[in-house]
Structure 1
Amino acid sequence: MVFIDIVIVVIALIAAIKGFMKGLIIGIASLAGLILGIVFSLRYAGDLAEIFQSMFGSNSRYLYFAAYLVCFLFIVMIVHLIGKSIEKVIEIAALGFLNKIAGAAFGILKVLFVFSAIFYLMKIVDPQSHLVKPETKQKSLFYQPLEWLLPSTLPFLKNQLEKINFDKANQKDIDQ
């Protein structure tokens, strides 16, 4: 086990503890809130900035930033509230401990995907392995498997999404 492995294990353990404390539902809601917050903010911040401009009569370059921040925080809060509501239902159903265990696993999985993205980017940015020596990569228990985790998973996810035919599903709903 080399230094990189120790860092991975320590960070994964921290993520497991945090994931256990949050639970799976809040963990997923947090991730979904961030992703949806970014997507919706990119889409609607310009529109909101125009509204701010008409309200405040200012043409400041900071209006877009303020609008982005308002959109982002609004979406994150809404998704978090939805997550909290779902979590309450799970606790009522006496599945709270299962939620915590799954949250720990989800926390570890998120960290492993982050390391995978970092290692994969390092492979692209540093093909001569100046940042991490080839010997270190060979001795590491986790480096090589994690390097390929993200790139091997994304095509699978893409294929799964392509199998879903939304038009056909929507047509079934209309026909019924």
Structure 2
Amino acid sequence: MYQGESVVEEIVSRLPRSASIAGHSRKDPFLSKPKSQQMTLKGMLKGTRNMLERYVGKWFYDKGIPFNAANRPYFPPMVSTIQRVGPGVKPPTAYELSGPLLDEEVEEVKKWIEEYKQSWPRTDITLMSDGWLNKVSKKEFLNFLDYSPKGTAFLSSKDVSWTKKDVNFYVRLYDQIVEEMGDKHVV
């Protein structure tokens, strides 16, 4: 035992056992006498993992994030990146998330869409549509998507609320969409 260690033990032994944590009247677990043997590395890691799980859970609960979001493809890499960056990393601010980081993602999606469109002459595409009604505003929308072996992409959404929806309407609408996409690519 080196000299500094005995000084620390002496100081800790003089501290009150009921010192408060951040103004609360709970006992500080680091100041209370150990009730058992020193924790193993495996036990510490288990406790750290539990702490991580609880804070992630609190964030999900507080923001009403669907639990299935943990199964999305970007969740595990996010956690892995936080682990790799390590202690001291600051999370992105609301400004960064809504500004520069969002702009970067928009640019990445635009590049993907351009690459996706470049594959149309080789693979052709299937035009798909889906209609839905906004029950609050009573508006009807028709969404158009295109499918190819490379993936599915949103094309456009049309407000069809105040239109007579007959065969002629749908033929004109689909013709317009096919023309925008290039009729030689649609199968």
TM-score, with structure 2 as normaliser: 0.20
| Structure with greater proportional strand content | 2
Larger radius of gyration: 2
Q: Normalising by structure 1, report the TM-score.
A: 0.21
Q: Answer 1 or 2: which has greater helix percent.
A: 1
Using CA pairs under 8 Å that are at least 6 residues apart, name the structure with larger relative contact order, 1 or 2: 1
